[in-house]
């Protein structure tokens, strides 16, 4: 927290008020002392009139501003301001007449400048309200700062809540597909069931524990992409060819969790799921110039007449697109190519290098699943 933030913080209210009045007293003493060529006399004028100025300041800060300005009761504010300004002008003049004039202005002409002289009261009011205006300006700046800070914190909390909600909606896609696969294999008494359970447990562990952070190592996301591909391969068997290649060093890069998995899942769900013959999915992940480039391409069934919107309408892709908007604002690029026989997405996002390099990690190789 900076010095200005501390000064404006409610926790330091007493200190900030004391600092304000101390600064005012020093400034006014130097000013009046220079005018009178006597700094002690200047100091006494400040001390004598200080109670009136303090009363005017706190009356304005804690009554006029909250009751009228914040409530937007502008006619009442104007009337109360004018009445209080004249009142405090007379009060300041009374203090000067009672305590200052008898000591420092012994030749003062009371008949020429009577106590109830309105012009003199207005003159003294202008002196009082220079301090009031300065204090009010600080009050309004402080209020604006607190409002803006509260708005930012509220916006951040709303953003985090929406991100968690969107990320949470992605999870059922994995569970639905993998549980269906497991169910089919158990009906067949397939020995591959145990392998599916193991890979499913890795996915669940990833989603329930690893994903509860803002960023996750890219290599973990890649591992889960490979798990998902292998699980889906159990469903499609030999009629599906999947290639997955990674180019670049993934040991120190980080990405938001579940950022790329929905694109892969979408290729299976909306792409090859309707294919009755051989189908393909090609996934290329490239790290270049502090940028991640993901290209996912899948074949389409010959009788598949679904428009591009049908491919992008799924909950997973809608959510990941919304997450991209929230996480990267306009710093990402997502392109969709809907061709006659293929469907492809190309995603480009900036990378984060906040993880320590992993020692002796085997590089990810191009694989055919």
C-beta neighbour count of 11 within 10 angstroms:
9
pLDDT reported for residue 360: 38
- Domains of the chain from N-terminus onward: 3-153 (no CATH), 213-368 (3.30.565.10)
Phi then psi for 333, rounded to 5 degrees? -140, 125
pLDDT reported for residue 366: 38
Residue where the block lists tokens 């400048």: 113
**Strand 279-288 with 333-338, pairing:** unpaired
What residues have CB less than 8 Å from 177, skipping those under 6 apart?
231, 232, 235, 265, 268, 269
pLDDT reported for residue 60: 94
pLDDT reported for residue 173: 56
Indicate the Cα dihedral angle 185, 190, 194, 200, nearest 10°.
Answer: -20
Residue where the block lists tokens 């504010």: 77
Please state, in angstroms and rounded to a whole number, the distance separating the CA atoms of residues 90 and 105. Answer: 18
CB 41 within 8 A of CB 104: yes
Our measurement of the distance from residue 361's CA atom to the centroid of its chain's CA atoms, rounded to an integer in Å, reads 35
DSSP 292: E
Helix (H, G, I), strand (E, B) or coil at 50: helix
Whether the pTM exceeds 0.75: the reply is no
End-to-end CA distance of the chain: 53
- The ranges of the chain with pLDDT < 70 are 1-11, 110-113, 154, 156-175, 177-178, 270-277, 301-318, 352-369
The β-bridge partners of 281 are 242, 298
In 3D space, the residue among 201, 194, 193 whose CA is nearest the CA of residue 174 turns out to be 201
The β-bridge partners of 282 are 243, 297
Element (H, E) at 240: strand 240-247
In 3D space, the residue among 193, 198, 171 whose CA is nearest the CA of residue 183 turns out to be 193
Q: How far, in Å, are 102, 158, 219, 225 from residue 259 at the CA level? A: 81, 20, 13, 10
DSSP 330-368: TS-EEEEEE-SSEEEEEEEEE-B--SPPPTTPPPP--EE
pLDDT reported for residue 4: 55
Structure tokens at 170: 């992605």
Residue where the block lists tokens 């597909």: 177
CB 202 within 8 A of CB 227: yes
User: Taking the alpha carbons of 29, 33, 35, 41 in that order, is the dihedral positive or negative?
Assistant: positive
């Amino acid at each position: 927290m900076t010095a200005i933030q501390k000064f404006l913080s409610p926790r330091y209210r007493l200190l900030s008020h004391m600092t304000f009045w101390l600064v005012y007293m020093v400034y006014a003493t130097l000013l009046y002392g220079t005018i009178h060529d006597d700094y002690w006399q200047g100091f006494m004028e400040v001390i004598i009139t200080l109670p009136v100025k303090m009363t005017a300041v706190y009356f304005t800060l804690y009554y006029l501003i909250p009751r009228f300005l914040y409530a937007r009761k502008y006619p009442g504010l104007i009337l109360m301001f004018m009445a209080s300004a004249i009142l405090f002008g007379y009060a300041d003049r009374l203090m000067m007449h009672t305590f200052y004039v008898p000591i420092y202005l012994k030749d003062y002409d009371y008949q020429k400048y009577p106590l109830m002289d309105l012009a003199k009261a207005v003159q003294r009011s202008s002196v009082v309200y220079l301090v009031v205006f300065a204090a009010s300006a600080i009050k309004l700046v402080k209020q604006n700062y607190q409002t803006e800070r509260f708005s930012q914190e509220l916006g951040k909390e709303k953003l985090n809540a929406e991100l968690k909600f969107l990320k949470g909606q992605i999870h059922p896609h994995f569970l639905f597909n993998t549980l269906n696969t497991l169910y089919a294999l158990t009906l067949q008494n397939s020995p591959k069931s145990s392998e599916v359970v193991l890979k499913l447990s890795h996915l669940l562990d990833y989603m329930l524990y690893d994903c509860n952070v803002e960023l996750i190592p890219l290599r973990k996301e890649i591992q889960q992409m490979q798990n998902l591909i292998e699980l889906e391969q159990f469903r499609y068997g030999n009629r599906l060819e999947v290639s997955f290649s990674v180019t670049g060093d993934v040991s120190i890069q980080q990405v938001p969790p579940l950022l790329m998995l929905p694109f892969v899942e979408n290729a299976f769900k909306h792409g090859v799921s309707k294919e009755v013959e051989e189908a393909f999915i090609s996934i290329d992940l490239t790290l270049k110039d502090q940028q991640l480039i993901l290209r996912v391409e899948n074949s389409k069934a010959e009788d598949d007449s679904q428009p591009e919107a049908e491919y992008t309408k799924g909950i997973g892709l809608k959510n990941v697109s919304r997450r991209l908007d929230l996480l990267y604002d306009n710093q990402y690029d997502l392109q969709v190519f809907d061709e006659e026989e293929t469907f492809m997405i190309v995603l480009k996002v900036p990378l984060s290098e906040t993880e320590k390099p992993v020692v002796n990690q085997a590089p990810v190789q191009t694989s055919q699943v």
